[in-house]
Amino acid sequence: MMHQKMTAITALEHSVEIKAVSKTFGAFHAVNNVSLPIRAGEFVTLLGPSGCGKTTLLNMVAGFIDPSAGAIHIGGVDVTNVPVHLRDTGMVFQSYALFPHMNVFDNVAFGLRQRKFSKSEVTRKVMQTIEMMKLSGMEGRRISQLSGGQQQRVALARAIAIQPKVLLLDEPLSALDKSLRAQMQVELIEMHRNTGLTTIFVTHDQGEALSLSDRIVVMNRGQIQQVAEPIDLYSNPANGFVASFIGEINALPAAIYQASDREISLAIGDIRMTAPRRPEWKFGSGEMVKAFVRPEHVRMATSADAGSNVVTGEVLTHIYQGSHTITRLRIDGLGPIEMRLPGGDVVGRVPVGMPAQIAFDLSQVILLADNPN
Amino acid sequence: MSKGTNMRSILFWTAVVAILVYMTLPAVVVVATSFNPTEVMAFPPSGFSLRWYEKALTYPDFQAAFKNSLIVMGMSSTLAMLLGSSFAYLIFHYNFRGRGLLEAALWSPLIVPHFTTGFGFLLLGSHLNLTQGFAVIVMAHLLLVTPFVTRAVFVSLSNVDPNYARAAANLGATPTRVMFKITVPLILPGMIGGWLIAAILSLTEFTASLYVTASRTQTLPVAMYNYIREYADPTISAISALLILSTTAIMIIANHFLGLRRILGIDNG
């Protein structure tokens, strides 16, 4: 039964292609020459700080905003000039925008009724969607009688009931409290697996992006910074903006003083260290770069660490987080560095104000060109 | 401390009572005189009687005038609701050249004296040979009440999340269907509230009506004016009291079903 439903809907998958799209408001470039192909059935997240253009881009796919330049294709068809109501996209709004003068059933049925399905067909499809979104028994409820999580599910049900070519999600989880958000993330993943809908998800929350997406599109100032799978994005950020935006990271100024095919030696302040060279590093000797080290790649030095990679810093604070502890240290000439130590090993901690010897996990150090971003 | 609070509270309630008395004084005086048993409009009344109410309700001129008033009220407030809602929609949704001018024109009936409006329609009516019919009265009232409907509907529109209309369009609704399935139902309280305000204003309008009504089409306030020019008995107080009673009833109904505060935009909650 479930399997049948899946294949029936999967056949409706559609790709989306954003081709050199720009949107200007006066002199402001909200979206600046963005090109992005999205595969049929893919879950793609547009991630970036507020004002980066992600919502504008989503609204252009839905047809609420006309691009100043470029084209948008859905399922291989140019829809740039197709009005909103003929585009066949399903949008979930940040505020949900559930019709307050209709009950749950009529909200979910709204799109189907515009499509001139027979009455029994509408009922069948609505009930099927309501069941899938775990809303059975709530058909007659008014919107104001629903909790935030239930409203969220009705909004999703309303959007997927029409079996849209693309599902568009505009920060749909931001209005929920933390525990509900985690639960809805799981339900979103299940919904995507069940429907196979091509999905574009907009968020400023990197945690949501990392846990939900097939691919993440990081945007800043109207432009795409990087398109990558979550793991790749985290471990191989393309530039300083992506490195700092995704997860926590220490950004340290560094000078390369020796570069071979296998290794790169760099000076971070007074510290000298040698890291294995990654293929994408094109730096030569004498260049100034930025070295990015994630807190989980900083650890307490052991006797096995070579002397030149070991740094002594002064412990500033310990921030206990349950599963791990964030420790801030000050290293002369570098400023503060954060390290993340697993567990709450209070006994093993170096007391605040005391010197601690730390080492970087050199294979995980990320080097990026030192251009201001 | 406690003494100061007490003093302030006394001052506060004195002010409240003073405002209440001042605002309702004329109505109270008129209603009180309507119960006079004698033919003199004495205040305070010299006794209690309902004879003037009986006379007011059976007086043919008042009966005809009340019917005229209802006709004018029904037509002008219904037309005003349609026209005012359209204006509000236009001003709210579109940014066009001359929008500011249209807004100013919509508010002009609040600035132009009713006297002038009535006189203008009288001249226009006589030129077009309309002075004996309801058309010119309805036109005058329509002009006077439309701004209030526009205001009420505009406030309603401002309070509706624009994403409702976008969501409906996204789900496949044509612009016309978005209008009638989403926008109109959501602003209906504002439209009905606007209708009620228009109805009350039309029912009690006198100055402009004096010019544009003929003896056959005179509305209740005009009939009352004509009555008081000839007679000085408390009938006029009784009919006034009835008029106050009916407009109060409309207000209470409006408030109960729609919340006047919301309609008048006193709070935008």
Instruction: Quote the pLDDT of residue A95.
Output: 92
Question: Are A106 and A184 contained in the same domain?
Answer: yes
Least confident stretch, A41-45, A68-72, A119-123, B186-190: B186-190
Instruction: Quote the pLDDT of residue A11.
Output: 38
The interface predicted TM-score of the complex, written ipTM, equals 0.83
Closest-CA residue in chain A for B169? A85
Question: Are A238 and A305 contained in the same domain?
Answer: no
Question: Are A127 and A230 contained in the same domain?
Answer: yes
Residue A87 pLDDT grade (very low, low, confident, very high; cuts 50, 70, 90): very high
Question: Are A266 and A222 contained in the same domain?
Answer: no
Q: What is the CATH number of the domain that holds A94?
A: 3.40.50.300
pLDDT mean over B121-131? 88
Crossing angle of helices B235-258/B220-230, nearest 10°? 160
**CA–CA distance from B110 to each of B115, B147, B198 (Å)?**
12, 8, 13
Question: Are A45 and A192 contained in the same domain?
Answer: yes
Last residue of a domain, one of A193, A212, A243: A243
Nearest to A96 by CA among A148, A55, A51, A132: A148
**Contact A25/B at CB under 8 A:** no
Spacing of C-alpha A204 from chain mean position: 7
Q: What is the CATH number of the domain that holds A260?
A: 2.40.50.140
Residues of A in contact with B169 (CB under 8 A): 83-85
Q: How far is B169 from chain A (nearest CA, A)?
A: 5
* A315 within 8 A of A360, measured Cβ to Cβ: no
Contact check, Cβ <8 Å, B173/A62: no
Instruction: Quote the pLDDT of residue B220.
Output: 94
Distance from C-alpha of A262 to C-alpha of A194, rounded to nearest angstrom: 46
Question: Are A130 and A269 contained in the same domain?
Answer: no
**Contact B171/A at CB under 8 A:** yes
**Contact A33/B at CB under 8 A:** no
Task: Please return the burial class of B211, using the count of CB atoms within 10 Å of its CB with bins 0-12, 13-18 and 19+.
Answer: buried
B34 domain-assigned: no
**Residue A318 lies in domain:** 248-369
Tell which wins on pLDDT, B87 or B40. Answer: B87
Closest-CA residue in chain B for A160? B171
Instruction: Quote the pLDDT of residue A361.
Output: 83
b or e along A64-97 (b: 16 or more beta carbons within 10 Å of the residue's beta carbon)?
bbebeebebbbbeeebbeeebbebbbbbbbbbbb
Last residue of a domain, one of A197, A213, A243: A243
Tokens of A25: 């408001």
**Residue B242 lies in domain:** 53-263
Last residue of a domain, one of A191, A224, A243: A243
Question: Are A146 and A200 contained in the same domain?
Answer: yes
Residues of B in contact with A87 (CB under 8 A): 170
**Contact B164/A at CB under 8 A:** yes
Instruction: Quote the pLDDT of residue A364.
Output: 85
Q: How far is A81 from chain B (nearest CA, A)?
A: 15
B19 domain-assigned: no
Distance from C-alpha of B91 to C-alpha of B150, rounded to nearest angstrom: 9
Instruction: Number of A to B CB contacts under 8 A, please give it.
Output: 62
Kindly give, in sequence order, each residue whose CB lies less than 8 Å from that of residue A12, ignoring residues fewer than 6 positions away.
Answer: A163, A165
Question: Are A208 and A141 contained in the same domain?
Answer: yes
Distance from C-alpha of A191 to C-alpha of A196, rounded to nearest angstrom: 8
pLDDT at A10 over 80: no
Tens of pLDDT, residue by residue over B28-37, are 999 999 998 8
Question: Are A259 and A164 contained in the same domain?
Answer: no
Cβ-nearest to B172 among A97, A100, A111? A111
pTM above 0.95, yes or no: no
pLDDT at B268 over 60: no
pLDDT mean over A235-254? 90
pLDDT at A307 over 70: no
Q: Please count the structural domains in chain A.
A: 2
Nearest to A12 by CA among A167, A192, A196, A188: A196
Quickly tell me which residue has 């004996």 as its tokens.
Answer: B132
Instruction: Quote the pLDDT of residue A2.
Output: 42
Please report which residue ranges of B94-113 form alpha helices under DSSP H. 99-111
Question: Are A346 and A222 contained in the same domain?
Answer: no
Instruction: Quote the pLDDT of residue A114.
Output: 95
**Contact B172/A at CB under 8 A:** yes
Distance from C-alpha of B163 to C-alpha of B268, rounded to nearest angstrom: 18
pLDDT at B168 over 50: yes
Residue A5 pLDDT grade (very low, low, confident, very high; cuts 50, 70, 90): very low
Q: Could you give the percent of chain B with pLDDT greater than 70?
A: 94
Kindly give, in sequence order, each residue whose CB lies less than 8 Å from that of residue B118, ignoring residues fewer than 6 positions away.
Answer: B140, B207, B208, B209, B210, B211, B212
DSSP 3-state helix, strand, coil percentages of chain B (rounded to 5)?
80, 0, 20
CA dihedral of B77, B81, B83, B85, whole degrees rounded to 10: 160
Q: What is the CATH number of the domain that holds B93?
A: 1.10.3720.10
Kindly give, in sequence order, each residue whose CB lies less than 8 Å from that of residue A369, ignoring residues fewer than 6 positions away.
Answer: A239, A283, A289, A290
Nearest to A338 by CA among A356, A348, B2, A323: A356
Question: Are A210 and A265 contained in the same domain?
Answer: no
Question: Best of A86, A88, A99, A166 to disrupt the B interface by mutation (most B CBs within 10 Å)?
Answer: A99
Question: Are A351 and A264 contained in the same domain?
Answer: yes
* Cis geometry, peptide bond prior to residue A355 (ω within 30 degrees of 0): no
